[in-house]
Structure 1
């Protein structure tokens, strides 16, 4: 039961960290992006944001789960 809380909290923290870094990278691209910036940067930002939101959802699910998985 305690492992659900620990893994849920770790997943929530990692998801928040990933989402914050995605937003920071968007701001960097807006300020310093030019013709030499890779076209795949926007795709990388979206996938990292989706990855962070996914970890947030999994973390909340693990944190509020009644029956222990581990």
Structure 2
């Protein structure tokens, strides 16, 4: 039961880290982007932000669910 809380907190922390890094990368692209910047950078930022949001949701689910998953 304790592992649900541990993995939930770790998942939320990783999700927040991922989302903050994707926002930081958007600012880098806006400041330093030029013609040589890849067209797929926008997709990379979008999916990394979505990946982080999914980890946060999964972490919250692990914290809320009372059944022994681990």
Deviation of 1:55 after TM superposition, in Å, equals 0.1
After TM superposition, the runs of 4+ consecutive aligned structure 1 residues lying more than 6 A away are none
Matches of 2:7 and 2:26, distance apart in 1: 29
Partner of 2:43: 43
Q: Could you report, residue by residue, the CA deviation over 1:5-47 in whole angstroms, capped at 9, with x for unpaired residues?
A: 0000000000000000000000000000000000000000000
In the superposition, the TM-score normalised over structure 2's length comes to 0.98
Structure 1: unaligned runs, 5 residues or longer: none
Distance 1:24 1:55 in 2: 18
The size of the alignment, in residue pairs, is 70
Structure 2 gaps, min length 5: none
Cα separation, 2, equivalents of 1:44 and 1:23: 11
The normalised TM-score by structure 1 is 0.98
What is residue 22 of structure 2 aligned with on the other side?
22
